[in-house]
Amino acid sequence: MSKKPESVLGRVFAFIGGFHVAIVSMVLLLLLTWLSTLEQTGPGGLYWTLKKYFSFDAYVVRPTLNGHDLPIILPGGYWVCAVFTLNLLVGGVMRIRKGWKHAAVLVSHFSMLALMVGGAVTYHQSKEAYMLLSVGEKGDSAFSLTELSIEIAEIKDGHKQEPVVLNSEVLDSVRGKPQRQRTFLLPDAYPFDVIVSEYHINAKLYPVQGKVPEDAMIVDGYYAMVAEPTGFEEKNLSSCILTIQEKRVGRNMTCYFMRE
């Protein structure tokens, strides 16, 4: 039998790198993968189900099956992966017995550790988009179905110059908050600044006819009302209110800005 560590730090390392942590982590990942696979066939769809189960902000998850919440609460998949990665590093690489007899085990642990680290890098650094091109065409821009943004660019001689991009993280800061707005000071090359407010993942635009809801903001004869997001992110019609503010004169022009 191996000698138990006597120091507090040694016992902490022994606990983190122990078999029990590895087994619990793998069982939780199995449950989360299975339940999320079942749930993504429902109205939540693939994109929002993955957000629910495996995003950085999902500390705990309440699984749903056939429209009903299950009476269990599980830790978020991102954080289970983080614990499992630490377990692999401490128990599977640092504390494991070294030598040719254990080379195969060490390689397998390194492989799993590389997969977990690669998944984390992909999650935090990757950008997914698509570009539609016909045969022989060229392009310099791509479109994302999930990460929405507002681009402001000058057109010179029929060519779009390098744009100023207000990305999805910026838009999320005013999402669903009627009184929240953000002002973006553009470079001196632009004669105006931009104010963004009333950003919603999914909305419907209506003309002003008959009775209009009291909380509706009317712009050029139209108003937008929040709608429940669909399970398929590419089908959501996102909207926000964009106010263009002239730098020198101070005049404002307001319009609804909706996803194409």
pLDDT band at 245 (very low <50, low <70, confident <90, very high): confident
222 burial type by CB count under 10 A (0-12 exposed, 13-18 middle, 19+ buried): middle
Of residues 31 and 51, the one with the higher pLDDT is 31
* Statement: residue 1 has pLDDT above 50: no
Percent composition of the chain: helix, strand, coil (DSSP 3-state, to 5): 35, 25, 40
Could you read off the pLDDT of 65-83 as tens digits, one per residue? 887 888 999 999 999 999 9
| 257, 242 Cβ separation under 8 angstroms | yes
Could you read off the pLDDT of 163-202 as tens digits, one per residue? 888 877 777 777 766 566 788 888 888 888 888 887 887 8
Mean pLDDT of all residues in 91-115: 80
Residue 151: the pLDDT is 82
Comparing CA positions, the residue from 51, 60, 36, 3 lying closest to residue 168 is 51
CB-based contacts of 251: which residues, under 8 Å, 6+ apart? 245
Q: Mean pLDDT across the chain, nearest whole number?
A: 81
Residue 247: the pLDDT is 81
Mean pLDDT of all residues in 20-47: 88
Q: What is the percent of the chain with per-residue pLDDT over 70, rounded to a whole number?
A: 88
